[in-house]
Structure 1
Amino acid sequence: MWKTIKSDISAVFDNDPAARSWFEVAFTYSGLHAIWWHRIGHWFFKKRMFTIARIVSQFSRFMTGIEIHPGAVIGKRLFIDHGMGVVIGETCIIGDDVTLYQGVTLGGTGKEKGKRHPTIGNNVIIGSGAKIIGSFTVGENSRVGPNTVVIKEVPPNSTVVCIPGKIVKRDGVRVNRLDHTSLPDPVIDIFEGLQKQINELKEELEQERQRNGGTRQHDAQSV
């Protein structure tokens, strides 16, 4: 147990340059406290003492602002930085040396039974506000950008950004060049599509008016 606690604290120093002392980390880092409470709740969960496990997890949520279901399986040296709003679902599996930032959601879709939350490989970094939804794997050594929404499998050694998530780098090679100054905006895309349809309807209406005007003029000349 003490070896695990020491490893958890060392992970903070490895990932957070603001960490100053073991005492400060052990008593003030809510992400660390959430992980320790989860280990207690997970022990009760494995013993099928589900109500006690949920009570522990809800107490941890109240104290830290981080919600980890006691059924989730968490590997070694998880680091949750500025963890307020982090949510980790029941069937989620997290590997070793993973980093989660504020507002990350590892969630499920629908009301299906069984494995419904993501599996996060070793050495993955998930940026602030990112949402990983569904039962698939984010491969080891991958990076998920802030506010990215991932809804399908991510290969190892990949970088994912945007909504929905797009792989922009894999094995160190750029896959799709991303212009950070002109990221896609679905709302603007909808308005542009509507404007295009309006312009097409205007052209058709004008053409119809010209045809009708020509017909009336021809009838007048015939008379």
Structure 2
Amino acid sequence: MSVKFLNLVRGDYERHGRSALNAAFVSLLVYRFGRWAIELPNPIARRFAQKIYGAINIVVANVTKIWIPPQVTIGDDFHIIHAEGSLSIHPEVVIGKRLGVMHNVTIGTNMGPGTPVIGDDVFIGVNSTVLGGIKIGDRVRIAANTAVTTNVPSDSIVVGSPAKIYPRLTPFPKKDRAQSAGQG
């Protein structure tokens, strides 16, 4: 096992409450092992490791209801916030850094070609779906019970089904230079 693999697992462990019994951590550990297995250069070792992954994944996915295939591309600091419900991610999905995802979420196809590409610093609320060949920008917040099937620009909030996209208010709006110069 590589140092990169061990660092990813250590980060997952820290992020998910430092508990080896946490369903989110166990599911991510199985995903990481599967990802490591498909990237092995030796075909015999790769096939053997994939068989081990398959056997473990059947049990873990059925117990935790979290299905993350090893083909999914996940950025750093992926966080499954609640592992009480289900999580299903299509194998072709690309996820950026620091995605926070609640339970009962589906990320995948919309019965057509393409899967979502999710940016950095995104949050997906409980019971939400992100479907189709769409792009979710950076720093997007997807509210609970939201069905997203269109592109979402960065710095947005998405609410409802069908999804309505709103610009996100920043904590410190930029002041107009001319206005702030006169206040001085």
TM-score range, shorter chain: 0.7 to 0.9
1:89 aligned partner: 90
Cα distance in 2 between the residues matched to 1:119 and 1:111: 15
Provide, for residues 67-113 of structure 1, a one-character-per-residue CA deviation record: whole Å limited to 9, x for no partner.
1122111111111022221101110111111100000100102254x
2:21 aligned partner: 28
- Normalised by the size of structure 1, how large is the TM-score? 0.64
1:43 aligned partner: 36
Instruction: From the superposition, tell whether residues 42 and 2 of structure 1 become closer, same or farther in structure 2 (CA, over 3 Å).
Output: closer
Cα distance in 2 between the residues matched to 1:55 and 1:123: 33
Cα distance in 1 between the residues matched to 2:6 and 2:57: 21
2:175 aligned partner: none
Does the aligned pair in 1 maintain the 2:9–2:32 contact within 8 Å? Answer: no
TM-align CA RMSD: 2.3
Matched, 1:5 2:3: no
- Normalised by the size of structure 2, how large is the TM-score? 0.76
Unpaired runs of at least 5, structure 1: 13-18, 174-223
2:70 aligned partner: 70
Does the aligned pair in 2 maintain the 1:8–1:77 contact within 8 Å? Answer: yes
Q: Which runs of 4+ in 1 moved over 6 A?
A: none
Q: How does 1:155-174 map onto structure 2 within 5 Å?
A: 155-170=153-168, 172=170
Does the aligned pair in 2 maintain the 1:58–1:67 contact within 8 Å? Answer: no
Q: How does 1:117-196 map onto structure 2 within 5 Å?
A: 117-170=115-168, 172=170
Cα distance in 2 between the residues matched to 1:88 and 1:58: 15
Unpaired runs of at least 5, structure 2: 41-45, 172-184
Q: Aligned with 1:28: secondary structure?
A: coil
Does the aligned pair in 2 maintain the 1:77–1:97 contact within 8 Å? Answer: yes
Cα distance in 1 between the residues matched to 2:147 and 2:112: 20
Identity of aligned residues (%): 25
Deviation of the 1:59 alpha carbon: 3.0
Question: Aligned AA for 2:125?
Answer: G
Cα distance in 1 between the residues matched to 2:94 and 2:118: 6
**Which entry has the higher C-alpha Rg, 1 or 2?**
1
1:185 aligned partner: none
Cα distance in 1 between the residues matched to 2:94 and 2:8: 18
Q: Give the length in aligned residue pairs.
A: 159
